[in-house]
Amino acid sequence: MLRSILKKNKGEESMDGKRRFSRMFFWGTGEISLAGVIYPVDEIFDLALGGCQLVTAAILPEDEDILLKMHLGGGSLVVDVVGHVVWVKEGRLGFRFTSVSPESLGHIKNILVYNAEDPEETEREIKGHLGIN
């Protein structure tokens, strides 16, 4: 069963410093694939439509496309996204999604809406962005 929201933040920051999407504390694990090497991801949290935070021992380059397999819901759901590292701090890293399949985007949207403090507000926010239904 998917873990309920523990904390809802303002959302992912855009280039001008404004949040674009609501995000929430959400726990999962996963793996990163880079240049044919697979690295474990100990924690995936602070999930948003545009990215998440990760905890991994892997040393990853910033701004290089990386495949992330997110094992959510106790591992019963695997969501694949491509993205890149945007920051590294104290054993955590910020991961921005750059390519998400429609199916994976649907799973992420469902997780965000299902676990939101205000599902209707979150649904309106998602639908309010161009190209996201």
Burial of 98 (0-12, 13-18, 19+ CB in 10 A): middle
The model's pLDDT over 31-71, given as tens digits with 9 standing for 90+, comes to 999 989 999 999 998 888 889 999 999 888 887 889 999 98
CATH number at residue 53: 2.40.10.220
Q: Is residue 100 part of a domain?
A: yes
Please tell me the distance from the alpha carbon of residue 65 to that of residue 43, in angstroms, as a whole number.
19
Sign of the torsion angle spanned by Cα atoms 80, 81, 85, 90: negative
Identify the pLDDT of residue 60.
87
Q: Is residue 49 part of a domain?
A: yes
The domain in which residue 95 lies consists of 8-127
Q: Is residue 48 part of a domain?
A: yes
Q: What is the CA radius of gyration of the chain?
A: 14
Q: Is residue 2 part of a domain?
A: no
Number of domains in the chain: 1
Q: Is residue 1 part of a domain?
A: no
The model's pLDDT over 65-100, given as tens digits with 9 standing for 90+, comes to 899 999 876 667 899 999 999 998 888 999 999 999
Please tell me the distance from the alpha carbon of residue 40 to that of residue 42, in angstroms, as a whole number.
6
Q: Is residue 50 part of a domain?
A: yes
Q: What is the pTM of this model?
A: 0.75
Q: Is residue 19 part of a domain?
A: yes
The model's pLDDT over 7-40, given as tens digits with 9 standing for 90+, comes to 333 343 433 344 455 556 667 889 999 989 999 9
| Closest to 83 in 3D by CA, of 62, 103, 102 | 62
Please tell me the distance from the alpha carbon of residue 105 to that of residue 112, in angstroms, as a whole number.
11
- For 47, 55, 128, the CA distances from 108, given in Å and listed in that order, are 8, 19, 16
Amino acid at the residue 86: V
3-state class (DSSP) for residue 98: strand
